[in-house]
Chains A and B, each alone.
Chain A
């Protein structure tokens, strides 16, 4: 790679690059995102390499291991360009057939193409698949086109053009104006207007300022930032360099979890490439602007995703939040003004600069502009990463993109915003998703986790799960969060064990109010959301647990009662053999007895019975 001495040099190189690339050259893109890697994408890519070699297609067909292609439920995915044929659930054994049929003879491999889980409709091309139809990729746009480790790929798609535009044609003020006018709000969860934050930091009087990229994604089931850092690392860097130029910072940090080794590798490689080509370092593109980026690895504490705790962690202190004010934009890292934004926010910046603030502001709702990436998981048929314009309804996301639920299940709730989000019931399915609408129904945007639950989930158990996560992850600095999560967990445990009382609900609501109003940081303030929203929308379920001692979703074990129906029991003794405590007795070929006193409600008998004679309620 050359070191770009000037913007013209960059432009010239890009033109050459684009001219040398044949848009009709066949390409095989094997998804190596977080969903496909563990399903064997490396083996699939290796099989392609071998097969292409055998068929003498090396050089003619380009093989790339790209970032996340979105539809993680159908791993491993392979995309054939330029036709954009999306093959799904590909194994190394399928590879010779794909090479033979598609790449050599231009035919489809019917059995590997997409089939809708409910309607069984088939679709071979990416554009026809319902999962991709409602999406509007901005941040994820390049993920299934480029090789994340290739700077050439990024440049050929217009990479670092926004940086060139900012450095040559815009003053720092104009950059901030553009970000402000775009209406971009922080994608990490708080939803604070990014432009306003930058303005405060720019106006702060200090020679030294810092830029931080928050890649400490810790929500269970969320992998948006990971997919972006792994699949398009240069977009994050470009956004940060532009941010540095706008506020006058010379040093940036990317705080990324140690649990994301591939993200660290790709980011490190991207930083090395950017330094080599003169996008980082002294006098970037001869503009007189210096900027460099360091990676700081986090040890996996959830609270370190909170900005002040993250800053403490980079400084080498215990990852605990500090009270604001002063805000990081005034006094942050090492007490200097600091801008801290989420990975997705940074990845949006180059697009805003390239396409203009008006373009971005035209997407989305009145107060939430642009798109949002969600990781759609849980009881939907098509789990994966989706990027939709703000204002898309939950129904569209769950039933159109997500392909709905299993036919025998009913929708119960969708939990947005990670562990500290709330559960949104069916009545709000037509809610347009944006920062304010989610808040109005007691949930949060968060960083974009979306967990769909069906009637086999018990909301009390769900609330307990998230509270137990938050209890483990609360740093314990302030009393309401430290003690509050502890007691919420204890009370929920009591309810699940059948020792709940109706006063517990009032007590929890009171406690939730205090936690929300007087905790130091966002973790404690939003920790009550799972409890509050479930009590509000699913009070019946709590009352069933408390008054009737029943869990209708059959999840809370202590409340279940197993019985053996003497009519259907054949006396095969399958359950007797499974029961770990000897609670089932009886003679062979006669109906069995289940001793309720001894029963530990493990459910093994229920699973062992082939005649559905073991009943549970």
Chain B
């Protein structure tokens, strides 16, 4: 399933318009995210902070494309830019590639231990960074996917971005075990560089400094999810909590 930018984000999805992508004229729904339009054509655009189920934020700047006609062109991030009539787009122009390579070079220096970044960079011919590398163990690229998932999908906002540039990080409030966290682990699941510490041992899940007792299925006895999370679900749906204490396979 491809997540379409809904009317909430671009209120004017109504009709199809004609856009020119890399010199090819195509039809696309007006107002749809340019990234979706381009990917639908089978053109590969790298992204790090984009997820089909989340509202795009345009943070990583890898999805930039060049729009306009020479000499008045500019780079925009395709994930947030709407598809408009008569738009001229270059997805792999020199300017675009320079920007993408530079961004990857910057990310290589910031998160030297992130395998995904190394792989993406290598695919674009960037094997080494000319910038000073940070902490050699660092993997977080501050894409914010975890924060947005926790806020928009899970709906609890247990983590958020803290501080500005020099000390920016993903953190729980006051860096203490987050009361709002339900231990669902969505943040760790969505993280592109596997940086969120998450362990499961002896029926206990540990995440963001908090231990969650895992609930075993009332039927098969396998661990399902943290009890706290299942209770949260029950509260949301109004169903009896026992309903969630049976795993999906046994229901």
Contacts and interface: CB of A to CB of B under 8 A. Distances in A.
A475 B161 CA distance: 10
A484 B99 contact: no
Given A323-B58, A478-B58, A484-B106, A301 B64 contact: no
A301 B95 CA distance: 32
Contacts of B163: 476
B164 A474 contact: yes
Contact of A518 (B75, B110, B166): B75
A485 to B, nearest CB: 6
A485 B165 contact: yes
A487 B165 contact: no
B130 A507 contact: yes
Nearest to A519: B61
B77 A480 contact: no
A326 to B, nearest CB: 8
A94 B11 CA distance: 66
A483 B75 contact: no
B82 A486 contact: no
B99 A478 contact: no
B81 A325 contact: yes
A275 to B, nearest CB: 35
A478 B141 CA distance: 10
Contacts of A42: none
Interface string B81-102: 1100000000000010011001
Interface in A281-314: 301, 303
B63 to A, nearest CB: 10
Contacts of B109: 483, 487
A518 B57 contact: no
B59 A477 contact: yes
A97 interface: no
A322 B164 contact: no
A8 interface: no
A479 B80 contact: no
A200 to B, nearest CB: 14
Contacts of A320: 161
Interface string B102-117: 1100110110000000
Interface string A308-335: 0000000000101011011000010000
A548 interface: no
A514 B99 contact: yes
B74 A323 contact: no
Nearest to A490: B132
Interface string A481-518: 11111110010000000000001000100110110011
B64 A518 contact: yes
Contacts of B168: 476, 482
B110 A480 contact: no
Contact of B165 (A325, A326, A482): A482
A50 interface: no
A316 B54 CA distance: 21
A479 B107 contact: yes
Contact of B102 (A326, A482, A511): A511
A507 B168 CA distance: 25
B58 A475 contact: no
Contacts of B131: 483, 487, 490, 507
B182 interface: no
Contacts of B146: none
A374 to B, nearest CB: 28
Contacts of B64: 517-518
Contact of A472 (B57, B59, B61, B165): B165
A266 interface: no
A471 B75 contact: no
Contacts of A322: 57-58
A151 interface: no
B57 A483 contact: no
Interface string B155-189: 00000110111101000000000000000000000
B103 A480 contact: yes
A578 interface: no
Q: Which of B59, B95, B161, B165 has the most CB of A within 10 A?
A: B165
18 contacts: A303-B164, A320-B161, A323-B81, A471-B166, A472-B164, A476-B165, A478-B58, A478-B59, A479-B103, A483-B107, A490-B131, A503-B130, A507-B131, A517-B99, A518-B99, A519-B61, A520-B58, A520-B59
Given A323-B77, A479-B60, 12 more contacts: A331-B11, A473-B165, A476-B142, A476-B164, A477-B144, A483-B107, A507-B130, A514-B103, A517-B95, A517-B99, A519-B61, A520-B61
Interface of A: 301, 303, 318, 320, 322-323, 325-326, 331, 471-487, 490, 503, 507, 510-511, 513-514, 517-520
